[in-house]
Amino acid sequence: MSRGGSGGRTRVKTARNRTAASTRWLERQLNDPYVRKARAEGYRSRAAYKLIELDERFGLLKGARRVIDLGIAPGGWTQVVRRQVPVATIVGIDLLPVDPIDGATILQLDFMDDTAPGLLQEALGGAADLILSDMAANTVGHPQTDHLRTMALVEAGVDFACDVLKPGGAFVAKVLAGGADNDLVATLKRNFQTVKHAKPPASRKDSSEWYVIAQGFKGRAAADPVEDDAD
């Protein structure tokens, strides 16, 4: 590695068995101020600052006593919740193994598994104040397919949120460029007082990710479809 250019930017020399792409990724990591800040402040990933910035704008963690973290790995968002709301009960789920976080219950399981919602509710022990979802489907390199796969996760997260949130609760989910589609936004607006999209500063400018923030859950009755009376 070498330092050069303005501002003491770190440049990475291509090493044996390291591809050009991995060299670029490493150089970006080494020069990313959020990566350095996360390392200095003990967060597992730079993604922690996305939640911190969203919370500063929307007040997500105020009064949050029961929190579910969908797609918890590696744990940065749950670390933020633990630090800002030490008394909160937190339950997280991910396909990937996650090192323990003091005060959090972590399930290693696919959220789309039929047993996942029940296990999450059981571990939480009551209605949720806040459901966070940083889930994204593994990309296949085809933008339309990647979007559909990720939106399927978001839609499942919305259905779960409508079952688990207490009235007044909030739901936050990662979506891709363009935000949530019209049908999903309509569903969220039917069930929440406010629905907004945001791209926190910690989200890289070249990333396609945005977040949808739905606050003020109206309650289970609003989530249930209205059925016509039989003749």
Q: Is 77 annotated as a binding residue?
A: yes
Q: Residue 143 and residue 149: Cα distance in Å, rounded?
A: 10
Q: Residue 161 and residue 127: Cα distance in Å, rounded?
A: 10
Q: Residue 231 and residue 229: Cα distance in Å, rounded?
A: 6
Q: Residue 75 and residue 98: Cα distance in Å, rounded?
A: 7
The stretches in the chain having pLDDT less than 70 are: 1-31, 140, 143, 178-179, 221-231
Q: Is 69 annotated as a binding residue?
A: no
E-state strands within the chain: 2-4, 9-11, 66-70, 89-94, 104-108, 128-133, 165-175, 192-198, 210-217
SS3 percent helix, strand, coil of the chain, rounded to 5, is 40, 25, 40
Q: Residue 18 and residue 162: Cα distance in Å, rounded?
A: 46
Q: Residue 47 and residue 80: Cα distance in Å, rounded?
A: 10
pLDDT score for 77: 98
Residues labelled as active-site residues: 174
pLDDT score for 7: 46
Domains belonging to the chain, first-starting first, are 2-31 (no CATH), 45-223 (3.40.50.150)
Per residue in 189-204, pLDDT tens?
999 999 999 999 999 8
Q: Residue 67 and residue 131: Cα distance in Å, rounded?
A: 6
Provide the token pair at 221. 């009755």
Per residue in 122-159, pLDDT tens?
999 999 999 999 998 777 677 677 778 888 999 999 99
pLDDT score for 9: 54
pLDDT score for 6: 40
CB-based burial label for 54 (10 Å; 0-12, 13-18, 19+):
buried
Q: Is 92 annotated as a binding residue?
A: no
- Residue 112: name the closest of 56, 61, 160, 178 by CA: 160
List, in order, residues 6 or more apart from 83 with CB less than 8 Å away.
Answer: none
Q: Is 75 annotated as a binding residue?
A: yes
DSSP conformation class of 152: H
